[in-house]
A and B are shown apart, each in its own frame.
Chain A
Amino acid sequence: MSYAVFTPEMKDTHTILIPDMLPVHFRLIASILDQYGYKTELLRNDGRSVVDEGLKHVHNDTCYPALIVIGQFMDALKSGKYDPNKVALLISQTGGGCRASNYIHLLRKALDKEYPQIPVLSLNFSGLEKGSGFQITPVMLFKMLFAVLYGDILMLTYNEARAYELNKGDSKKVLDKWIDIITERLEKGGFAKTKQTYREILDDFAAVPRSKEKKPRVGIVGEIYVKYSPLANNHLEDFLLSEGCEPVVPSFLDFCLYCAVNNVNDGEIYGFKNKTTFMFGIGYKLIYAKQREMIKVYKEHGEFTPPHDFEELRHYADKYFHQGVKMGEGWLIPAEMAALEEGGVRNIICTQPFGCLPNHIVAKGVSRVIKEAYPQANIVAVDYDPGATKVNQENRIKLMLTNAR
């Protein structure tokens, strides 16, 4: 099978469609691509037709995230909104021992029959898919790091603020305002005065009138796409809010750090050193320092809960599991579960695609250990797939919430 390649000329003619995984983060990342002359659009199509298109184009037994991502693309292409000769699709590729590394190939297969002319771009940091006209320069990469940092602080604080807001919609206003400001600042460079920006964001959210009422806090961990994407998890955060809970979604940066540090770990576990381990070692230290910086601002500010400290996560991973388990979300899931429990978030929903291979081990396989270490832990695993109904999922979450109260 031959597939279309994104040529440098296409930069001017083609619109790059981006799947809806992390609503806040991806908006910021898209704006960076825009600055560099790409035209992007974040997909927002939702509903049954996305799932149906996914089922049509992806093997029935393939995991749900692949099905949803590809379904969303196909549904968008068939909507008539886009000229198939002038769009390209962007998909992320992690490059680990999980099926997820194959999404890009599955997407190309799906396009093969109807849209062979549409190029697929890979967003990856493992050197896969070389030779495309779409290249992330180091400066762009650096800016994206900031997009992730800002995305995290916005997502985290927004979730915490809106659970308690007295006037519905106040927090959303703050969020929207800041997405605009940050988009602008990233254009101008965006690296300066990050601490100042963090403070301003925290101040703005702190100014939202909020109740002092105690609400059950519910952590969301799991497979990366289902965990973050409202499209895939049936708007889980909104559901938890409507049930009177505070959704606690760990930061996306943790996943980035997890990917980076696995390369470093490989060197340690298997006893070798090379360019990759070296580069990732430096990258890891740099990003981790940025996370520390943000946590520091949070702590000084004192109003909201800071994100987990990644080194602490690694520590929990060693305590209850092993950092060698690096496929899929690997050791990050048990580590996040432990960190949530340590931080007083007793209740955890572990979202996973039905039949997800790594999740057999790192989610269902590990809950016994976490429950032993934290007898108060209230963990429910929820499966997502094209067949699972919302009623079924919500009923299980309700049971967990009954226990939470």
Chain B
Amino acid sequence: MSKIYSLGIDVGSTTVKTVISDENGEIIYSKYQRHFSKVKETAEEQVRAIAAEYPDALFKTAVTGSAGLGLANAGGLPFVQEVYAAFVAINKCYPDADAAIELGGEDAKIIFITGGVEQRMNGSCAGGTGAFIDQMATLLGITADDMDELSLKSEKLYPIASRCGVFAKSDIQPLLNQGARREDIAASVFQAVVDQTVSGLAQGRTIEGKVLFLGGPLSFLKGLRKAFKETLKLDDEHAIFPENAPCFMAYGSALHAMENGDKTYSAEEIANLIKNAVMSDSTVTGRRLFESREEYEAFVERHKKCDLAYESIETYSGDAYLGVDAGSTTTKMVLITPDGKLLFKHYVSNKGQPLDVVTKQLRRIYELIGDRVNIVAGAVTGYGEELIKAAAGVDYGVVETVAHYRAASFFQPDVDFIIDIGGQDIKCFKIKNHAIDSIMLNEACSSGCGSFIQTFALAMGYDIAEFSQLGLFAEKPVDLGSRCTVFMNSSVKQAQKDGATVEDISAGLSSSIIKNAVYKVIRANSADELGENVVVQGGTFLNDAVLRSFELEMGKNVVRPAIAGLMGAFGAALYAKEKAEQEKRTKSGLISKSDLETFAYTTRQANCKGCTAHCSLTILTFSDGHKFISGNRCEKGAGLAAKSNVPSLYEYKYNRLLSCVEEKPSSPKAKVGLPLCLGFYEQLPFWHRMFTDLGFEVIISEESSRKTYYKGQHTIPSDTVCYPAKLAHGHIESLLERGADVIFYPCESYNIDEGGSDNHYNCPVVAYYPELLKANVASLNEDNFICPHIDINLKKHAVSVIEKAFEKFGLTKSAISAAYDNAWNALKTYQSDVESKGKEIIDYARLNNMPIIVLSGRPYHIDPEINHGICKLITSLGMAVITEDAVFRNVSTPKLDVLNQWTYHARLYRAAEYVTTQADMQLVQLVSFGCGIDAITTDEVRHILESKGKLYTQLKIDEINNLGAAKIRLRSLVAAMGR
């Protein structure tokens, strides 16, 4: 009889692994191979190879892995869940291990072994995995291995959001554009993965003892291993990186098969089962892009008409204007004649070094133009605007939206809608009365853009042009829907499993980008909403499949200029011309040819010491000695004195709130701790007065910072809750550190009733977060954490709740009752102080001709760690800042189309209504990522404002502090206001 072996097949999201073990569980064969999404073929190929080597052997077998599930079902092969497979292998090889961490292509898992076996997988937000690392490497223009090498030479770590690849990108991009060292960024990416694993997966359980690290990324990336070891404080003895880590799950499934398998197969049979596996046909087929070649050719002809005239740079003599678009991943440059003819164009990926690209091209331009051309002026737009302006002496900076509008109106003077899809972002703007009326930018969960197709093309082994061309005549384009990048990976995987071809997927991806743009970013119900004359631009629209998908989805033809990818630069050049004419400039201040030859710069990192925000600064020193500082939020960091005294109510409110806890009783009964989070950002004066009057010393938690967040990170059970709530965990730790005898944090279903609304609820998170803290912070108990359900509108009830909650201090009803009255007065005083300061700011702004921004949100948005200094950004643009609670009492609630039942949100509607009555005011709404209720309020606030001719600007904020997108919006707002 032939020998019986056991064959484990691990089909993961990016690789296929096979392992053969003998009857003693020894590995006698193993193979690891990337499948480039050819899941079935690769798996079959590997098993065939085994068949060739072991023609007579019989195997027990089990399939595992995320892509293995479908394959096993369809092929009728046994399946074992991969985490369990890992567990089996761990028990065999490392019986003394305490925990194991496995990172795969798209999954992250933790297995706790000692102290209760528990196996966890990441939820649906799949940051911090192999795919995430690959994405980040692509962003840096290097391979994951290069990134690994770089990371080992890092000197400094930057905070990078790891929860979401899209967030991480927006953290990294500005760093790159500011010239931060790639070594440091590489190491920061790995650190982000570690943080994500520790906080997102461990969720309160400490990872300690002997820890096993498994999966591809952890066995290949030294930098990642280092980061894990350092963060978890493991020495070599306790951090184990098994040699067979990449094949560990395959080995586990082999062991599982040995133990449990009842059937044996020859390798040949297994290969045939895989080959014949018919995947369920659940993939939905979308519309074909073109029915025929002819149709495609007509389409190409039609779009050819929108091109610029060209002029040879080698013969032309006369004036010219320079336009630079230093975008997030690409740098675009044009040189045009005064009548808009194109002399020079350049479009290149900046590989994270935009300045080098620009200086190189400038040298080329100077060579080409000789003495024939006079560059009159230049303008720069995009993320790298300030850097390029400072380094290369470009005359003007212009916000992207304005640049794009200038360019679009060159092609279509009556343009009323522009959609620009670039590598990293989608920008859409509506044009009304020849000015930008509203802007829509993509956000975390609506992120599918150009780079996204590129990443897929590369993963499937194609270059981008070839890949998108494939989609044009796809027979059955798969309908991938519109979803976040990470989810898209699994959708594509599912489609492939179901037998979709590369062509079908290519076409499907093109249309999913469009669906994402139309339904998630623009949020249009029909084509008519976009307007009559639509201009599409951005590099992604050069892809015919994407362009066609857009036309099909909208049911109308659109204008795509042939220089779609250069529109930002072209618009900047047009802007330079306009400005130069206004200013009668004759010669650009651009860096000269001779200075360019000796141009060099060095980069240095530092922390700003201007205020408590301690912004992380990047300082570039150029060869001529001048400096460029970035990363700062206000003028201080840039080494400048604050411009002028532009007032902001945010700072006032924050300081006014904190100042109220200064008063303490002489011989306090005990220390009552109030966490400085969520609802306390408004009710602090109330509770402080109450407890102080009752003879307690009130202490509050530390002022929020990133450190506060890290302090409580390990007890956060839900990683998709909003950042203000996450910070609460750190504030609890802080109060414990500060020696609070009891922490008081009431549950309040009902907020203050201010009238004019259908109800006065808190949102569920604000209302019940104390319950969550009690359930998840191990150091809290009945004695040190008091969280009664209370409605402070009802005096009698509130008094008896406090009496009962503080029973052991023997408070009398009458004392509490008196304290309650004083507490209300304290709250009222605080509120009226805010209002009168608001009035003062309005008066001052009007006297000094400053526009006023009502920066609206929730009370807790005054926390600088939550608003990331957006209020400073606004004042630095010369606009005064007030808050919603300073003005909403001036008007009553407008008629609404929604149920108006939350106190904080009711204020928003009234503030919006008030703004519509004030000519010099605009409203900017701060929205915390993950706030489900704001999905409702934002639409309503927008409606109130826009129906009365006001602009609506929404800024979404999260734990990341990249203000790039906020800046674009705010500067566009300024541009729109100035029309």
- A→B interface (CB under 8 Å): 1, 47-48, 51-52, 55-57, 59-63, 97-99, 101-102, 105-106, 108-109, 113-114, 269-272, 321-322, 324-328, 354-362, 364-369, 375, 381, 383, 385-392, 394-396, 398-399, 401-403
Chain A residues positioned under 8 Å from B762 (CB to CB):
97
Whether the Cβ atoms of A395 and B123 lie closer than 8 Å is no
Q: Does B934 contact A (CB under 8 A)?
A: yes
Are A386 and B481 CB-contacts (below 8 A) given A56-B525, A59-B938?
yes
Chain B residues positioned under 8 Å from A61 (CB to CB):
445, 931-932, 934-935
Give the 10 A-B CB pairs with smallest separation, nearest first: A387-B483, A324-B789, A97-B761, A61-B935, A365-B772, A271-B797, A387-B487, A364-B718, A327-B764, A358-B764
Whether the Cβ atoms of A399 and B761 lie closer than 8 Å is no
A62 to B921, alpha carbons, bound, how many Å?
29
Closest chain-A Cβ to B77's Cβ sits at a distance in Å of: 15
| Listed residue (A55, A59, A327, A387) with the most chain B CB atoms within 10 angstroms of its CB | A387
Whether the Cβ atoms of A361 and B487 lie closer than 8 Å is no
Are A102 and B761 CB-contacts (below 8 A) given A55-B482, A270-B791?
no
Closest chain-A Cβ to B83's Cβ sits at a distance in Å of: 5
A47 to B899, alpha carbons, bound, how many Å?
30
Extra contacts besides A270-B797, A326-B749 (17): CB < 8 Å: A48-B479, A52-B515, A61-B445, A97-B763, A102-B899, A106-B936, A270-B791, A325-B767, A355-B930, A358-B768, A360-B725, A361-B772, A386-B482, A387-B445, A390-B282, A398-B79, A399-B84
Chain A residues positioned under 8 Å from B479 (CB to CB):
48
A63 to B939, alpha carbons, bound, how many Å?
15
Closest chain-B Cβ to A399's Cβ sits at a distance in Å of: 5
Whether the Cβ atoms of A357 and B932 lie closer than 8 Å is yes
Are A366 and B775 CB-contacts (below 8 A) given A361-B768, A387-B481, A387-B484?
yes
Chain A residues positioned under 8 Å from B933 (CB to CB):
99, 357
Whether the Cβ atoms of A62 and B932 lie closer than 8 Å is yes
Chain B residues positioned under 8 Å from A272 (CB to CB):
794, 797
Contact residues on B (Cβ < 8 Å of other chain), bracket? 35 or more
Are A391 and B493 CB-contacts (below 8 A) given A56-B519, A56-B525, A357-B763?
yes
Q: Does B490 contact A (CB under 8 A)?
A: yes
Q: Does B727 contact A (CB under 8 A)?
A: no
Whether the Cβ atoms of A60 and B481 lie closer than 8 Å is no
Whether the Cβ atoms of A271 and B796 lie closer than 8 Å is yes
Closest chain-B Cβ to A129's Cβ sits at a distance in Å of: 10
Whether the Cβ atoms of A389 and B491 lie closer than 8 Å is yes
Q: Does B901 contact A (CB under 8 A)?
A: yes
A355 to B70, alpha carbons, bound, how many Å?
28
Whether the Cβ atoms of B66 and A395 lie closer than 8 Å is yes
Q: Does B138 contact A (CB under 8 A)?
A: no
Whether the Cβ atoms of A365 and B771 lie closer than 8 Å is yes
Of the candidates A362, A386, A399, the one whose C-beta lies within 8 Å of that of B81 is A399
Closest chain-A Cβ to B438's Cβ sits at a distance in Å of: 16
Whether the Cβ atoms of A386 and B483 lie closer than 8 Å is yes
A386 to B490, alpha carbons, bound, how many Å?
13
Whether the Cβ atoms of B897 and A390 lie closer than 8 Å is no
A401 to B81, alpha carbons, bound, how many Å?
9
Whether the Cβ atoms of B80 and A357 lie closer than 8 Å is no
A7 to B931, alpha carbons, bound, how many Å?
37
Chain B residues positioned under 8 Å from A114 (CB to CB):
525-526
Closest chain-B Cβ to A130's Cβ sits at a distance in Å of: 13
A107 to B762, alpha carbons, bound, how many Å?
23
| Listed residue (A99, A105, A114, A403) with the most chain B CB atoms within 10 angstroms of its CB | A99
Q: Does B520 contact A (CB under 8 A)?
A: yes
Of the candidates A102, A387, A399, the one whose C-beta lies within 8 Å of that of B898 is A102
Whether the Cβ atoms of B718 and A97 lie closer than 8 Å is no
Q: Does B359 contact A (CB under 8 A)?
A: no
A16 to B769, alpha carbons, bound, how many Å?
40
Chain B residues positioned under 8 Å from A322 (CB to CB):
747, 771, 789
Whether the Cβ atoms of B767 and A97 lie closer than 8 Å is yes
Chain B residues positioned under 8 Å from A51 (CB to CB):
481
Whether the Cβ atoms of A394 and B69 lie closer than 8 Å is yes
Residue of B nearest to A366 (CB): B775
Q: Does B776 contact A (CB under 8 A)?
A: yes
Q: Mark B776-814, 1 if CB is under 8 A from A, else 0.
A: 100000000000010100101100100000000000000
Whether the Cβ atoms of B525 and A57 lie closer than 8 Å is yes
Closest chain-B Cβ to A207's Cβ sits at a distance in Å of: 33
Closest chain-A Cβ to B80's Cβ sits at a distance in Å of: 7
Are A399 and B776 CB-contacts (below 8 A) given A272-B797, A392-B490?
no
Residue of A nearest to B67 (CB): A391
Whether the Cβ atoms of B932 and A356 lie closer than 8 Å is yes
Of the candidates B282, B720, B901, the one whose C-beta lies within 8 Å of that of A360 is B720
A302 to B776, alpha carbons, bound, how many Å?
39
Interface residues of B in 721-776 (CB under 8 A from A): 721, 725, 747, 749-750, 759, 761-765, 767-769, 771-772, 775-776
Are A60 and B523 CB-contacts (below 8 A) given A325-B747, A357-B764, A365-B775?
yes
Q: Does B157 contact A (CB under 8 A)?
A: no
| Listed residue (A325, A381, A392) with the most chain B CB atoms within 10 angstroms of its CB | A392
Are A355 and B121 CB-contacts (below 8 A) given A60-B523, A322-B747?
no
Closest chain-A Cβ to B415's Cβ sits at a distance in Å of: 23
Q: Does B446 contact A (CB under 8 A)?
A: yes
Chain B residues positioned under 8 Å from A328 (CB to CB):
764
A369 to B771, alpha carbons, bound, how many Å?
11
Chain B residues positioned under 8 Å from A102 (CB to CB):
898-899, 936
Interface residues of B in 691-739 (CB under 8 A from A): 717-718, 720-721, 725
